[in-house]
Amino acid sequence: MIIVMNPDAKKENVDEVVSRLKELGFGIHMSEGESRTVIGAIGDRTRALSLGLEAMEGVEQVVPISKPYKLVSREFKGENSVINFNGVKVGGENVIIMAGPCAVESEEQIIETAVSVKESGASFLRGGAYKPRTSPYAFQGMEEEGLKIMARAREKTGLFIVTEVIDPQGVSLVAEYADVLQVGARNMQNFNLLRELSHARKPVLLKRGLSATIEEWLMAAEYIMSGGNYDVILCERGIRTFETHTRNTLDLSSIPVVKQLSHLPVIVDPSHGTGQRQLVPSMCKGAVAAGADGLMVEVHPNPDKAFCDGPQSLDLNQFKNMIEELKKVAESVGRSI
């Protein structure tokens, strides 16, 4: 349930409500908006009914949360969550761009890509240092050396770094280098990893699982938030269906659906969603029109020689041209890139 405090409630009023709830073993999660404070109480709702919380000073109303995902829901927080990276706001007015190769292959490749995508309008550099692959014989990534290369690219360009963490043991190491910790589709329900990330001091980008329903996706986000990490970005990256012409089926309808159900920012990865570079610009335009807060696009200096996912990667000029087209779409829906 949530306890909505009056706009003029004092700090001591909030503290009294929190203390009362903690006495009965409720987990407390605070949401402090511009106009009022909302207290999320996780525990036995039937016990809370006898507390008389509505009568406590400063309390406006007590609202039960019907959704299984409590902290993720619009019922817990009505206004959109915005994650601020030194002025770059994910979930704000601007549509943010994350761009870079599937995998870190060399320092030259990463620096060249970073400089170019920054000039085109990207704020984040994406790249995989750890690459969990379907085949055990495929390129598995440069690991910590890849992280160091991305960190050097950040020093040169000012781009924020997004990279994947694949197991609980790797969270602390990746967090030393990355600004955003990415959970890949295969790990969306790796609950030990999600629990570890719930205690991390870095934002988490949570990709939708290969066959995950929207509710399962949001429940995975709930795992992260329940441990105290409220900086979660959801990423739609396509789901597995009967269609074989594209790599996955990019579910653009999930954007408005999730925005109705949750306050978390939503971005879209059309590269994995389609698997074909010629489809990426159209899906980017559709995602922006549907209300996406950002895009994650695979970009490589020479896609035909990429170690992985070359067919779905744009080259540097294709990316630049696409961003110019996207600016018009963003403007048409009252946003900017």
d(CA 206, CA 114): 23
Coil, strand or helix at 275: coil
What pLDDT, on the 0 to 100 scale, is given for residue 60?
Answer: 86
Distance of CA 235 to the CA centre of its chain: 5
Encode pLDDT of 300-314 as tens digits. 999 999 999 999 999
Encode pLDDT of 240-263 as tens digits. 999 999 999 999 999 999 999 999
d(CA 212, CA 208): 6
Dump strand ranges (E) for 14-67. 27-32, 37-42, 59-63
Task: Domains for the chain: give ranges and CATH numbers.
Answer: 2-63 (3.30.70.1140), 83-332 (3.20.20.70)
What pLDDT, on the 0 to 100 scale, is given for residue 50?
Answer: 63
Kindly give, in sequence order, each residue whose CB lies less than 8 Å from that of residue 335, ignoring residues fewer than 6 positions away: 93, 94, 95, 288
What pLDDT, on the 0 to 100 scale, is given for residue 101?
Answer: 97
Give, in degrees to the nearest 5, the angle at Cα 83 between 328 and 181.
100
- Count the Cβ atoms, other than its own, within 10 Å of residue 201: 8
Task: Give the position of tokens 């320092």.
Answer: 107
Using alpha carbons, list the distances in angstroms from residue 6 to 32, 43, 141, 287: 12, 23, 52, 37
* CB-based contact 296:287 (threshold 8 Å): no
Report which of 55, 60, 53 is spatially closest to residue 37, judged by C-alpha positions: 60
Determine which of 11-25, 29-43, 200-214 has the lowest per-residue pLDDT on average: 29-43
What pLDDT, on the 0 to 100 scale, is given for residue 236?
Answer: 98
Using alpha carbons, list the distances in angstroms from residue 170 to 146, 238, 264: 14, 26, 25
Tell whether the model's pLDDT for residue 85 goes beyond 80: yes
What pLDDT, on the 0 to 100 scale, is given for residue 46?
Answer: 63
| Mean per-residue pLDDT over the chain, rounded | 93
Cα dihedral 199→204→210→214 (10° resolution): 90
d(CA 286, CA 255): 11
d(CA 112, CA 325): 23
**Inter-axis angle of helices 107-120 and 144-157, to 10 degrees?**
40
pTM of the model: 0.90
Using alpha carbons, list the distances in angstroms from residue 237 to 126, 248, 312: 14, 8, 13
d(CA 337, CA 330): 7
Beta pairing class for 204-207 and 180-183 = parallel
What pLDDT, on the 0 to 100 scale, is given for residue 49?
Answer: 61
Question: What type of residue sits at position 237?
Answer: R
Kindly give, in sequence order, each residue whose CB lies less than 8 Å from that of residue 162, ignoring residues fewer than 6 positions away: 98, 100, 124, 125, 126, 127, 178, 179, 180, 182, 205, 296
